[in-house]
Amino acid sequence: MGYWTYTYADIKQKRATDESMGYDGAKPIYLACPDGTFIEEDFYDGYGHIGGHDMHELVADWNRNTPEAVALMQEKLAEDIAERDELLKTLSKKEQKASTRLYWLNGEIPRFQIAVAWLSGEIEELPEDFEKRDIGIEIDTYEEDAERIKYPLKFVKNTKYTYDQIKGYSANTQ
């Protein structure tokens, strides 16, 4: 499990702010949710746990059956397949066996296929050895991806504005 540092969402513009959310417990942080509720956290642990929830699982659930998330994962899958195919064309059999990148791609491609199938609603349940949080990490870790999905993470300092009123998104700074 990695460490996740996020910025606050910009209220007025579709962007992240430069201000990292607080970790010291001096003031609570809030995760705005698309249903209009907020999840409060008094002391963020840095590992994606907010108010008893896994924020990566939340963002995966929020974006399930949205064309934006499905398209994003399909693009990532296509890029990995193209890279794998290129490696298979250019590397000798011996080099293929030694290629850690090819080994990684051969494991990642089936996982991305499952993610696309789940996000699109083609399958209802994820396999037992597949973590939903991995989908959330894949679709919301990078700022350019957060800009594209329908429901990115939005951390705020207070509950004055609803999810839909908050124009920006939170960006991972790690």
DSSP at 122: S
How many residues are present in the chain?
Answer: 174
Q: Which two tokens stand for residue 163?
A: 């999810």
User: What is the tens place of the pLDDT at every residue in 107-141?
Assistant: 999 999 999 999 999 999 999 999 999 999 999 98
- The pTM assigned to this predicted structure is 0.91
Q: What is the C-alpha separation between 13 and 9, in angstroms, rounded?
A: 9
Virtual torsion, Cα 71, 72, 78, 82, nearest 10 deg: 150
**Structure confidence by residue, pLDDT tens digits, 52-106:** 999 999 999 999 999 999 999 999 999 999 999 999 999 999 999 999 999 999 9
- Domains in the chain: boundaries: 7-156
pLDDT at 86: 97
